[in-house]
Every structure is written in C-alpha cells, then in structure tokens.
Structure 1
Amino acid sequence: MRFFECGIRYEKTLENGMQKKVTELYIVDALSFTEAEKRVTEEMKCFISGEFEVVSEKITKYSELVETSDGDKWYKAKVNFITIDEKSGAEKKQAFFYLIQANDIDHARKRLNEYMKGSMADWECEALQETKVMDVFLYSTEEQKDKEEDLKKICASPGIQKAAKRFVDSIPDGQKVTISSSGFKDAVIDKTHGHEKDDA
C-alpha cells in the first residue's frame, strides 16, 4: 500500500455563516491513483453534504503513520537512520518520513520518541513540522487482508508470472537489483556470483 495525499475542494460554511470555497488535504492508503480517488470520495460523502471534487492527488513519501487517540493535528517528521560504512568508516544517513498525529509539536516529538524507542538503529529527527492534512483514512485490518488476498491472486496469474520472469531474465549476470515500493517490503534480485554461498 501507498499513502496518497488528496485535495478536496468544496463550499464550506464558516462560523459567521458565510460560504467559502476551500481545499482540504486528506491521506488515504491505496494501490493506485484511481483507487485513492474512489476511497477519499466515499469517505468524504459522510462529512460533506453538498458537492465536492477531488482536485489533486499525489503519492507521499510517508513510510509509516504514528496515530494517537488524543491528537487533532498531523505532523511530518524527517528521520535519518545512521549507519557506518564498513569500508570507509564514513557515516551514512538514510531519510524516512513519518506522519504523526498529535495535539502540538511537543506532543508530536514525544510520540515520535515513544514510537522509535524499540529501534535497533541509531536515528535522529532532522525536521518536524505541522502539515495541512485534515484527516487520514486507512483500510481496516479485514479490508487490508482482503486487498492482500486480491494482490496474491493477481500475482499468481500466468500472465503476471511470465512478465516477472521476463524482467528477471533481463537483468544481466553480476548485478543486484532492489525494487522498492511504499507499503511493501523491498524485493531483491541478486545475480552476483557467489551470493548463494553467502545466503547459506
């Protein structure tokens, strides 16, 4: 699954009774832009009585969400995982982004520290800032299981397996390729000589 940011434009009634066109941002988890638009449309029908439209969609860089029951804002955290290169001894940083639900920035920082407490790797929070995200809509556990089952069925189809084999065969001997996709574990195709011994 990926996290999509969707912009919803509609006419909002302000506290003074006036009507104003506004665009609000929402996050949904989905496999595609089409699914993201469908999901956010279904969710927003419960909250907006009049007409509205999805005016923007983009795939976010968030790798994980940190939710809490007592937060009404969403904060973006850039977290660097720190490793040491064995050959050069140089420090390397790899950035990951988290979306944190909290009351304020201090609460967000506390929630991040609690969430990262069990991490085995060294890390640092490089940046933490409030977003304009209004809410996040995630699949329930059962819905997620159903989606995973559907995906397994798709991957098991002969056409998909043939396409995957053609892709693997197109990778030259001696190369190692990592395929990354948000919401999924990395897939590694290793054609370097001797890797079978290393894995044993």
Structure 2
Amino acid sequence: MKLFECGIRYEKTMENGMQKKVTELYIVDALSFTEAESRIIGEMSCFISGEFDVVSEKITNYSELISTDSAEADKWYKVKINLITLDEKTMSEKKQPLYLLVQAHDIDDARSRLNEHMKGTMADWVCEAVQETKIMDVFLYAPDAPHKKAQTYEDKAAQEAAEAVASSPSCQRAAKRFIDSIPDGQKVTISATGCKDVVIDKTHDHEKVQDDA
C-alpha cells in the first residue's frame, strides 16, 4: 500500500455564508492512482453534497503515519527524521532520512507524539524538521475483524446504518408487516446492488428468511 495525496476542488460554504471554490488535500492508501481516485471519490461523497473534482494525485514519501483519537489533534504535520548509522568501513556516520505524517494539535504536540512513537527504536535518530501541512484528513482501510478484509468508510457507514435499522423497533415492525403481506405459498427474493439477495420463503408451513450464498 502507498499513501496518495489527493486534491479535491469543490464549492464550499464559508463562515460568512458565501460560496467559494476551494481545493483541499486528503490522504488515502491505495495500490494505484486509479484506486486512489476511486477511494477518495467514495470517501468525499459522504461529506460533499454537491459536485467536486479530483484535481491532483501524487504518491507521498511518508513511510509511517502517527494518528490519534484526540479531538484536539486537528492538524497533520510532516516530520523529517534522520536515522543515524555507522559506516563500518569508513567509521563515519550516515544519515538515512525518514518522513512521517503526524496528527497533532500543534508543533509541540507533534514532537511529543513523535518522541512517544520512536521510543524503543534501536537506531539513533534526530528530528530535522516539523512542518504543518494543508492536509484536511486521512482515510485508511480499516481491517474488518470477522473476515480480515479491508473495510472502507462507506462500508462502515452502511454497516452502522444497517445495525441501527435492525435494532429499531419501528423498523422491525415494518419488516414484519412486509413479510406478513406476502401470501402463503410464495417465495420472494429481494435484491439490492452491492448486497446479498434476501429470500423470504413462505412455500412451507412456516416463514423462512435467508441470505443467498
């Protein structure tokens, strides 16, 4: 996986109520430019109601990402560190640059999170630069624990919505009314794009609801 920086241009409503064309930067992880574009379109469709364009894409040089759940950490910082090793032949020090993307509240917070992240590192290292970026947010694939597969933001949102619907008494009653409205002796298949077919089978003495494999 690589981290891609994508530029999104759209018409944004400013604090004064005026509409203004803006370009914002976001990070996604993907295997190719095509996948990165598809992923950022899917992610931003959840947040932008109007039209928007992907105006730029580039592969970043970030080798690590340090994120946090802290609500105050609303900025992303580009951090350059140098890993210091010793050349056994010349006995001189060599510096290997490493770039990290750190989510933090300010520069001091970024440095603090970097130091915590680098604890236990075997090689010596020094922080050369910490710079605030214009990155608005980072979207990474989230592991889906039961199946060990990638789950995108929209997958997660759909799952949460489905769970909310399933736990709603009113929705449960509506589903029961729908099932009850199907005449005995009939078998109905409900299909939806991106979902498994749901079969309501009333051809026997009892109702049966199942997922098609």
Which residue does the alignment assign to 1:139? 141
Distance in structure 2 (CA, Å) of the matches to 1:77 and 1:142: 30
Q: Classify the secondary structure of the residue corresponding to 2:69.
A: coil
2:29 aligned with 1:2: no
Partner residue, 2:53: 53
Higher relative contact order (CA 8 A, sep 6+): 1
- 1:123 matched residue in structure 2: 125
Q: Where in structure 2 are the equivalents of 1:78-97 lying within 5 Å? A: 78-97=80-99
Which segments of 5 or more consecutive residues in structure 1 lack a partner in the other structure?
A: 148-200
Which amino acid in the other structure matches residue 84 of structure 1? L
Q: Tell me how large the CA RMSD over aligned residues is.
A: 1.4
Q: TM-score, normalised to structure 1's length?
A: 0.71
Q: Of residues 75, 78, 82 in structure 2, which corresponds to 1:76? A: 78
- Highest CA radius of gyration, 1 or 2? 2
Q: How many corresponding residue pairs?
A: 147
Structure 2 gaps of 5+ residues are 151-213
Using the TM superposition, give the Cα deviation of residue 69 of structure 1 relative to its aligned residue in structure 2, in angstroms: 1.3
- Quote the residue 1:197 is aligned against: none
- Alpha-carbon distance between aligned partners in 1 of 2:86 and 2:111, rounded to the nearest angstrom: 26
User: What is the letter of the counterpart of residue 42 of structure 2?
Assistant: E
CA distance in 2, matches of 1:145, 1:98: 26
Aligned mates of 1:88, 1:68 — CA distance in 2 = 41
How far has the Cα of 1:141 moved from its partner?
1.6
Higher-helix-fraction structure: 1
Is 1:43 the counterpart of 2:53? The answer is: no
The alpha carbon displacement at 1:146 in A equals 3.6
* Percent identity (aligned): 71
Which whole-Å deviations, capped at 9, do the CAs of 1:16-51 have from their partners, x for residues lacking one?
110000000000000000000000000001110100
- Find 1:103's aligned residue among 97, 102, 105: 105
